[in-house]
Amino acid sequence: MKYNFDEIIDRKNNHSVKYNELARFGFEHGKEPEDFIPLWIADMDFKTAQPIIDALEKKAQHGIFGYVYRPDEYFESFINWQKKRFGWEPRKELLSFSIGVVPTLGSLIKLFSEEGDTILIQPPVYSEFYDISTDNKRIILENKFKEKNGVFTVDLEDLEEKLKQHPKLFIFCNPHNPLGHVWSREELKVIGDLCIKYSVPVISDEIHADLTLWGNQHIPMASVSEEIRQNTITCTATGKAFNLAGLQSATIVFNNIENKTRFDRFWKDLEVHRNNPFNLVATIAAYTEGEDYLIQLIDYLEKNILFLNDFMKKNIPLIKPNVPQATYLVWLDCRELMEKYNLNQDELEKFIYQKAKIGLNSCRAFNHGSSGFMRINTACPRSVLERALKQLETACNELESK
């Protein structure tokens, strides 16, 4: 079927975090301006794939929502999806269900490190990598990306120096959020081999794996070599590509039975081991019937990103967006705007939130202490994206006229 990603769907009265949790932008609940446009948290303003909706409706019409188990079809659909799209065939006996990637990160940190241990990450990176580590009283060790003229690259020399300090775990973002970097096989092998050399286990967050753009190919870290597989735990889900984050379902690929057993026992001890009847059927439908939706979605996202870049170049040249290789998240370099108008990071954010009336993520969430960048979510109807960019243009023009 043909999907209509231009359709505008009102989410304000549907308990949406994206549209209703806006205190971070300086607004009381329900008192934000009518023309305020939230383009921050990483979920999409699009309906999910029709086969998923059909599966959920069928389950709802059944009318009984008692305890359910995970049939073989659940993990088999995941394996077939990974094999078809990424040429990787995880072993069924090493797969576990989880209620989400972030809860999984928290549990893995608890299980495989102790308070006071160091956790290695690569900023600027997904803010939960910080929060889930520090909330569990672990110490962050940073291998920061190198940046030159807005282009970010991994600092392999620094990575090795950090690995020599023997962090307890390395939380790896593949593809990378917020930079949208798709790691090449060569990069993955170098990084994976270094982790083996210094005996640092890898937790690979691959939740954005299905959202590669411009023909880029996602490569699971665990697929690079058998040695790297044995050192890697992979976390992934349908939440991003099919907009199902609220259904709380993830699949975790372990490197050995012992680690899987420890993980499963952790959740069993909390009595969180039953499945949700809705995320069960939604996940199976996504992996068995969702590819056509994903193909159309990626085409629309690519055009949105090109639209944004073209608009910025023509109308707001002081803000320079990147062109991500994956995800619908664009990293905005605002340093020239800040320099011209003598703005600090606080003032930049206030300008975007209060004057342009757009809700974006601050770079400070991705790299503590950084400044000059913002993250925008382009997974919305193009008319909404255009309206947001025009509001930003108008606000910038008002700055110029002062």
Q: What gap in Å lies between CA 241 and CA 219, rounded to an integer? A: 16
Q: Give every residue of the chain whose pLDDT is below 70, as ranges.
A: 368-369, 402
pLDDT of residue 387: 98
CA distance 209 to 222: 13
Quote the pTM value: 0.96
Q: What is the pLDDT of residue 16?
A: 94
pLDDT score of 369: 65
Sole residue written with tokens 């099919």? 242
Q: What is the pLDDT of residue 146?
A: 93
Q: How many other CB atoms sit within 10 Å of the CB of residue 162?
A: 23
Name beta bridge partners: 252. 96, 235
Spell out the domains of the chain, with CATH numbers in brackets.
17-49+292-401 (3.90.1150.10), 62-289 (3.40.640.10)
- For the chain, give the percent of residues with pLDDT over 90: 90
Nearest CA-CA partner of 90 in 100, 105, 102, 80:
80
Q: In 13-118, which ranges are continuous DSSP H helix?
A: 17-20, 50-62, 72-86, 101-112
Q: How far apart are CA 357 and CA 183, in angstroms?
A: 34
Alpha helix positions (H), 118-184 = 127-134, 156-163
The per-residue pLDDT for range 199-229, each reduced to its tens digit, is 999 999 999 999 999 999 999 999 999 999 9
Distance CA 165, CA 169 (A): 11
Closest CA to 116 of 165, 158, 168: 168
Instruction: Give the mean pLDDT of the chain.
Output: 95
**pLDDT of res. 368:** 61
